[in-house]
């Protein structure tokens, strides 16, 4: 028990505590230098790699904070998530001006994490989408053949020549490096007027499976997810979810740099994550492209917090 002088407590603890409520941030436990839980959270605060100005480097902080606005209890499944089920390793420290070095730090750091804790399920918080390239390189290196289910309005398959490894290129980088195969990449939520035609053609050439927003309007998301995992489960060793929050309509995710109309609503995304997480081969997730400086009341970070919670809930429910 902590003991203070009078009612003085460390400032992060000097808040109202209700004995009947476990806040969702209590799911996180700072790494003690030795043990780790089944889930490992790492922040990747990099957004200088964005094509447009972005403050997404601030999102690991706001997403963690958003967790404290929610609780651990899922009434719909009557499941209470366990405190300390996620080890919070902290953030990768970034170089000020050398962005290639930043990507290398990410890759080396998560590679080392996977080496130390071979079975850990990473929950990686961007940053912009460029972080998925080094992060998935390390993941594929550690875990074998990887299937990726990407929620996104954009392909993120731009060429690497024009601007280097940016938030428009992560999956191009992975395909070119042969870290993943085109047929193992599934993109959900791709939107009209949000991509160049040649990148759609590239996706088709590479065998990438693309579900557009029209597909989502005309199908149940649970069915899309079922079909997606079915197409991957027998050929890959692990499935990794990459959630670019701009897959959501701007009304639901006002804090993404590249907002627009005609996207998914929050409930659809949350259902998708919940369903996906129940699959035993889903072994990792990243959440990217939230710029807190553009957001309204941290709404987008709040959705991200629910994405994490639904992921943990799916795992808890499936018991895998």
Residue 84 · residue 202 · CB < 8 Å: no
Residue 276 · residue 282 · CB < 8 Å: yes
Residue 288 · residue 240 · CB < 8 Å: no
- Residues in contact with a second copy, shown as a per-residue x/- string from 103 to 122 under the rule CB under 8 A: --x--xxxxxx--x------
Q: What's the burial of 161, exposed, middle or buried (CB within 10 Å: 0-12/13-18/19+)?
A: exposed
- Residues in contact with a second copy, shown as a per-residue x/- string from 82 to 101 under the rule CB under 8 A: ------xxxxxxxxxxxxx-
Count of C-beta atoms within a 10 Å radius of residue 82? 14
142 forms part of the interface with a second copy (CB under 8 A): no
Nearer to a second copy, 16 or 319 (CB): 16
Angle value at C-alpha 170, between 168 and 176, nearest 5 degrees:
120
Size of the site for a second copy (CB under 8 A): 117
Among 29, 250, 317, 318, binds a second copy (CB under 8 A): 250
Among 309, 314, 315, 316, binds a second copy (CB under 8 A): 309
Among 30, 207, 220, 230, binds a second copy (CB under 8 A): 30
Residue 234: CB minimum distance to a second copy, A: 28
Residue 203: CB minimum distance to a second copy, A: 9
197 forms part of the interface with a second copy (CB under 8 A): yes
Nearer to a second copy, 27 or 239 (CB): 27
Map the footprint of a second copy across residues 65-84, applying CB under 8 A. 69-76, 78, 80
Among 53, 223, 237, 280, binds a second copy (CB under 8 A): 53
Going by C-beta distance under 8 Å and a sequence separation of 6 or more, which residues neighbour residue 213? Answer: 189, 190, 191, 192, 262, 263, 264
Which one of the spans 140-148, 173-181, 233-241, 302-310 is the region binding a second copy (CB under 8 A)?
A: 302-310
Map the footprint of a second copy across residues 217-236, applying CB under 8 A. 217
Among 214, 220, 230, 235, binds a second copy (CB under 8 A): 214
Query: Would you tell me the crossing angle of helices 132-143 and 99-116 to the nearest 10 degrees?
Result: 30
Angle value at C-alpha 200, between 195 and 206, nearest 5 degrees:
140
Going by C-beta distance under 8 Å and a sequence separation of 6 or more, which residues neighbour residue 28? Answer: 41, 64, 67, 84, 86, 87, 88
């Amino acid at each position: 028990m902590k003991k203070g002088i009078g009612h003085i407590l460390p400032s992060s603890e000097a808040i109202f505590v209700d004995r009947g409520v476990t806040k969702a941030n209590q799911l996180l436990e700072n790494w003690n230098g030795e043990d780790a839980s089944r889930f490992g959270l790492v922040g990747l605060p990099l957004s200088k790699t964005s094509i447009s100005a972005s403050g997404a480097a601030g999102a690991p902080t706001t997403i963690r904070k958003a967790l404290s606005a929610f609780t651990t209890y899922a009434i719909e499944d009557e499941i209470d998530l366990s405190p300390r089920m996620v080890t919070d390793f902290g953030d990768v420290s970034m170089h000020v001006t050398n962005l290639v070095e930043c990507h290398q730090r990410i890759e080396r750091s998560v590679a080392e994490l996977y080496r130390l804790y071979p079975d850990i399920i990473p929950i990686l918080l961007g940053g912009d989408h460029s972080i998925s390239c080094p992060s998935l390189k390390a993941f594929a290196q550690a875990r074998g053949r990887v299937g990726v289910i990407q929620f996104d309005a954009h392909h993120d398959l731009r060429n690497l020549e024009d601007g280097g490894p940016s938030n428009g290129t992560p999956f191009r980088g992975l395909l070119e490096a042969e870290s993943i195969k085109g047929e193992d990449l599934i993109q959900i939520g791709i939107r009209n007027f949000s991509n160049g035609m040649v990148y759609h053609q590239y996706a088709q050439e590479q065998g990438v499976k693309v579900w557009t927003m029209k597909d989502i309007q005309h199908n149940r998301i649970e069915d899309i997810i079922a079909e997606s995992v079915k197409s991957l489960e027998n050929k890959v060793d692990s499935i990794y979810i990459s959630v670019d929050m701009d897959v959501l309509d701007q009304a639901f995710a006002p804090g993404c740099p590249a907002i627009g109309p005609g996207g998914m609503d929050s409930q659809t995304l949350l259902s998708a994550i919940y369903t996906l997480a129940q699959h035993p081969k889903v072994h990792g997730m990243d959440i990217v492209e939230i710029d807190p400086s553009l957001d309204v009341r941290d709404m987008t970070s709040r959705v991200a917090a629910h994405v994490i919670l639904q992921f943990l809930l799916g795992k808890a429910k499936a018991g895998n």
